[in-house]
């Protein structure tokens, strides 16, 4: 065998090896995702077997008697996340409309960069701001003010503690804003210009153009960005733990302290004394995992639909 042939064979072997190594790395990611799901399931088996589905609607959380129900945490998570969406979606949408439709590029690009900075601030720093700025502000002025003008509603009653679902919702809103802004800005930019020009040529004002021609076109993509933000909000841990008040109650008033799924894991996991107790906490984590996967898949599907549509039509 001559030398050049040997060279070719050697290279082919290396090529083969290279492919296999790279494939292995890629497959290990798949394995990692499956492993996480499997380990979480395996280590929450005891409470799953003991409580079954009743874990979802029982309200007792008694580590000493080993009776666990996750409803207060589900409720707290849901209320704070929805509250955050209620605040963040209109404001975030307003900003992304401003960035994509109104602002000239020399304003839009630095401002988008600043929004990314907002996303880069770690959650524990939001929590710090929450404890020392937002909570006192809510206690002394925000909640009394709300009670004065909206106190007839059951949502705004009771003593103003400062900590509670409302404060957590506001803080969460600030944290998910960057995601809504950056994703829905991308979506709005992908709306074809023909859409805008057509309605402007009919004599529409700028706002009518946005309201009639741009936003409906981007509707499902924007919904996708909202779901993406929701997935963030549901799993957000540190900032919420620091301002929610950590009390496993189900109360209608938004001023009341509550608890979220992520918060109880953060607070009690390293102190869980018995195996059953820590497995109950892991089951909450498993639930959190399942819910985020579901919402994330829905969000991807919605965003994919808009971007696919744009490529198809004009």
Partner 1 sequence: MISFVFRRKIINALMLSLAGLCALLILSVLFFILGYIVIHGLSGFRFDFFTQLPRPVGESGGGMAHAIVGTLKLLGLAALIGIPLGLTGGLYLSEYGQKNLIGFLVRYASDLLNSIPSIVIGIFAYILIVLPMGHFSALSGGIALACILIPITIRNTEEVLKLVPSSIREAALALGVPEWKMICFVVIPTAGRGIITGILLGLARVAGETAPLLFTAFGNMYWNQNILDPVASLPVMIYTYAISPYEEWHQLAWTAALALLLLILGINLMSRLLLRWQIRN
Which residues, 32 to 91, sit near partner 1 by CB under 8 A? 32-36, 39-40, 43, 90-91
DSSP character for 202?
T
Assess 200 for contact with partner 1 (CB under 8 A): no
Give the Cα separation of 144 and 139 in Å (integer): 7
Residue among 79, 160, 282, 306 that touches partner 1 (CB under 8 A): 282
Assess 181 for contact with partner 1 (CB under 8 A): yes
Closest CB to partner 1 among 82 and 298? Answer: 298
DSSP character for 191?
S
Assess 131 for contact with partner 1 (CB under 8 A): yes
Assess 294 for contact with partner 1 (CB under 8 A): no
Give the Cα separation of 217 and 223 in Å (integer): 12
Number of residues that bind partner 1 (CB under 8 A): 84
- The sign of the CA dihedral 198, 201, 202, 203 is positive
Assess 231 for contact with partner 1 (CB under 8 A): yes
CB proximity list for 111: less than 8 A, separation 6 or greater: 99, 103
Residue among 78, 118, 198, 200 that touches partner 1 (CB under 8 A): 118
The distance of closest approach from Cβ of residue 70 to partner 1 in the complex, given in angstroms and rounded to an integer, is: 15
Assess 28 for contact with partner 1 (CB under 8 A): yes
Structure tokens at 107: 């304003």
CA distances (Å), origin 282, targets 32, 44, 61, 241, 278: 18, 6, 14, 17, 6
62 bridge partner residues: 67
Assess 171 for contact with partner 1 (CB under 8 A): no
Assess 285 for contact with partner 1 (CB under 8 A): yes
Assess 206 for contact with partner 1 (CB under 8 A): yes
Nearest one of 157, 218, 160 to 185, comparing CA atoms: 218
Query: In this structure, are strands 61-62 and 67-68 parallel, antiparallel, or unpaired?
Result: antiparallel
Closest CB to partner 1 among 170 and 258? Answer: 170
Residue among 80, 81, 123, 184 that touches partner 1 (CB under 8 A): 123
The distance of closest approach from Cβ of residue 293 to partner 1 in the complex, given in angstroms and rounded to an integer, is: 6
Closest CB to partner 1 among 147 and 196? Answer: 196
Q: Residue 148: how many CA atoms within 13 Å on its side-chain side?
A: 6
Assess 183 for contact with partner 1 (CB under 8 A): no
- What stretch of H or E contains 169? helix 165-189
Residue among 253, 292, 298, 305 that touches partner 1 (CB under 8 A): 292
Residue among 192, 269, 298, 305 that touches partner 1 (CB under 8 A): 269
Residue among 70, 74, 97, 214 that touches partner 1 (CB under 8 A): 97
Closest CB to partner 1 among 147 and 177? Answer: 177
Give yes or no for a contact between 163 and 244, defined as CB atoms under 8 angstroms apart.
yes
Residue position matching structure tokens 């924007």: 222
Assess 273 for contact with partner 1 (CB under 8 A): no
């Amino acid at each position: 065998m001559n030398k050049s042939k040997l060279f070719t064979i050697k290279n082919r072997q290396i090529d083969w090896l290279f492919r296999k190594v790279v494939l292995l790395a890629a497959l290990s990611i798949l394995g990692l995702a499956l492993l996480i799901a499997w380990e979480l399931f395996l280590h929450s088996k005891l409470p799953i077997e003991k409580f079954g589905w009743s874990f979802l609607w029982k309200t007792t959380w008694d580590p000493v008697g080993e009776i666990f129900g996750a409803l207060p945490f589900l409720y707290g998570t849901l209320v704070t996340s929805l509250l955050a969406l209620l605040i963040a979606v209109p404001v975030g949408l307003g900003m992304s409309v401003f960035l994509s439709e109104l602002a000239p590029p020399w304003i839009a690009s630095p401002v988008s960069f600043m929004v990314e900075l907002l996303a880069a601030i770690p959650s524990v720093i939001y929590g710090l701001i929450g404890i020392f700025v937002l909570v006192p502000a809510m206690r002394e002025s925000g909640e009394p003010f709300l009670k004065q003008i909206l106190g007839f509603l059951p949502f705004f009653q009771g003593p103003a503690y400062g900590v509670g679902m409302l404060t957590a919702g506001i803080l969460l809103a600030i944290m998910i804003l960057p995601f809504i802004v950056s994703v829905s800005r991308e979506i709005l930019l992908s709306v074809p210009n023909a859409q805008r020009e057509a309605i402007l040529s009919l004599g529409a004002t700028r706002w009518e153009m946005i309201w009639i021609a741009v936003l409906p076109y981007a509707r499902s993509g924007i919904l996708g960005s909202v779901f993406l933000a929701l997935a963030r909000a549901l799993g957000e841990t540190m900032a919420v733990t620091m301002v929610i008040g950590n009390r496993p109650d189900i109360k209608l008033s938004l001023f009341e302290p509550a608890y979220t799924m992520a918060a109880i894991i953060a607070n009690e996991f390293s102190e869980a004394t018995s195996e059953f107790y820590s497995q109950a906490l892991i089951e909450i984590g498993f639930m959190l995992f399942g819910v985020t996967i579901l919402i994330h898949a829905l969000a991807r599907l919605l965003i994919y639909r808009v971007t696919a549509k744009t490529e198809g039509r004009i």
